[in-house]
Amino acid sequence: MSIKTLSKKMLAIVVAGAMTMGLAMSTSVFATGGDTATKVTEAYISKTFNTEVGKDEAFSFTATQVTGSTANVTIPNITFAGTDTGSKTKRVQVTFPEEWPDAGKYEYTVTETGATPAITDTKHQTMIMSKAEYTMDVYVSNNGSGFEISNIIVNKKKDDKGTAATGKVDISNTDKNGFKFTNTYVQEAGTGTDPVNPGPDYTKYGSLDVSKIIKTDAADTADTNKEFDFTATFTFPAGTNAATLGAKATIDGIATDITGTSHTFKLKHNQNVKFTGLPVGTKISVTESGTPNYKGSADVVINNGTKETKTATRYGEALTVSDKSLGQNKNTVDVTNTYNYVPATGIIMNTLPYVLMIALCGAALMAFVAFKRRRLQK
């Protein structure tokens, strides 16, 4: 056999071996999902529920099969009790068939499909449902005695807002789990324990009411048409913002939409601003700018609780009521400004007559002493 013929045979053997190895590797990749180093045979789903108001809820999920022989996958409901307030996360294990029809890749689309009880009246409350979507690929292989899961890979397709997303997620039973859906229940502050039928306090005060009066001493006359500058700032609960319930500020029947996390307004004597559409749990700060000759104080009632009073230390000083979390019941901030005219000299006009009397007495005393001294000198 010539060297040329021998070389051709050896080349053919090498090519055949390479093809065989490639086929074997291809089969292995197909069976395991291409990632043997991180092979996973169980899957867990997480649910994060944000709520400032205790609410019993059960959330359901569906795994819709896309490819592969028919094999139903089920996901248990994830439930939360009325005591689960704030931001809570729970996990459940995905249930796969005990027997698979054959080996291969099974593809599923996993979405959240409902909440029980559902929120049907959304004027003063809403449930922000997750729009997340995942593709779950389950790889099944023959172990010699039957079919079993050899790997599971889950990729994110949409986030909670329904925006396109990509990337493999962790499906383990740990806090790193990224096979997650997030929901937020929101109730408007001030609507009471039944947001479908708010009581008279809500009609009068809304989510938050800020009122203004001027108090004067008998000798002073304040300008009751004078406007005072206010700023209200809001820190909204997780998953919410000013648009969630359509927050507004109404003064004398004129409503203004609230955008962002702060709102400026002006109030004069006997005026008030009624805020609506602020979620329960919103942290608020209300500041009245400092105004010369006026000293402010505020009576604060949050969630219909005990009244607190905040008072400025001097005239012309700004007054701030800060870090109050709005509750389900009445929330009010009643601001009172005491007026007292203080001229540039710093003398309060109410005390000026007394100052003049003392000065006259002093002058008379000095005159008397001078007169006596002159008589003694003579």
Q: How do the domains of the chain map onto residue ranges?
A: 29-187, 206-339
The reported pLDDT for the residue numbered 280 is 98
Rounded average pLDDT over 197-209: 97
Higher-scoring residue by pLDDT: 224, 105 = 105
**Range with the poorest average pLDDT among 144-148, 173-177, 254-258:** 144-148
Give 220-242 pLDDT, tens digit per residue: 677 889 999 999 999 999 999 99
Beta bridge partners of 150: none
Q: Are 312 and 295 in contact (CB under 8 A)?
A: yes
**Torsion angle of the four alpha carbons 122, 128, 133, 136, in this order, in degrees rounded to the nearest 10:** -110
Confidence of residue 38 (pLDDT cuts 50, 70, 90): low
Rounded average pLDDT over 6-13: 49
The reported pLDDT for the residue numbered 27 is 41
Strands 78-80 and 125-128: unpaired
Cα 310 from Cα 300, distance rounded (Å): 8
Give 162-171 pLDDT, tens digit per residue: 999 999 999 9
Tallying the residues shown for the chain, one arrives at 378
Confidence of residue 17 (pLDDT cuts 50, 70, 90): very low
The reported pLDDT for the residue numbered 30 is 44
**Topology classification of domain 29-187:** Immunoglobulin-like (2.60.40)
Q: Whole-number mean pLDDT of the chain? A: 87
Output the pTM of the full model: 0.79
The reported pLDDT for the residue numbered 20 is 42
The reported pLDDT for the residue numbered 343 is 60
Residues 6+ apart with CB under 8 A from 225: 268, 269
What beta strand segments (E) does the chain contain?
44-51, 57-67, 78-80, 86-93, 104-116, 125-128, 133-142, 147-158, 180-187, 208-216, 228-235, 248-251, 254-257, 262-267, 271-276, 283-288, 294-301, 308-311, 319-325, 332-339
Confidence of residue 24 (pLDDT cuts 50, 70, 90): very low
The reported pLDDT for the residue numbered 376 is 59
**Which CATH architecture describes the domain 206-339?**
Sandwich (2.60)
Residue 120, pLDDT above cutoff 80? yes
Give 270-319 pLDDT, tens digit per residue: 999 999 999 999 999 999 999 999 999 999 999 999 999 999 999 999 99
**Range with the poorest average pLDDT among 9-18, 93-102, 321-330:** 9-18
Q: Are 163 and 172 in contact (CB under 8 A)?
A: no
The reported pLDDT for the residue numbered 29 is 42
**Range with the poorest average pLDDT among 47-51, 153-157, 176-180, 213-217:** 213-217
Cα 58 from Cα 80, distance rounded (Å): 6
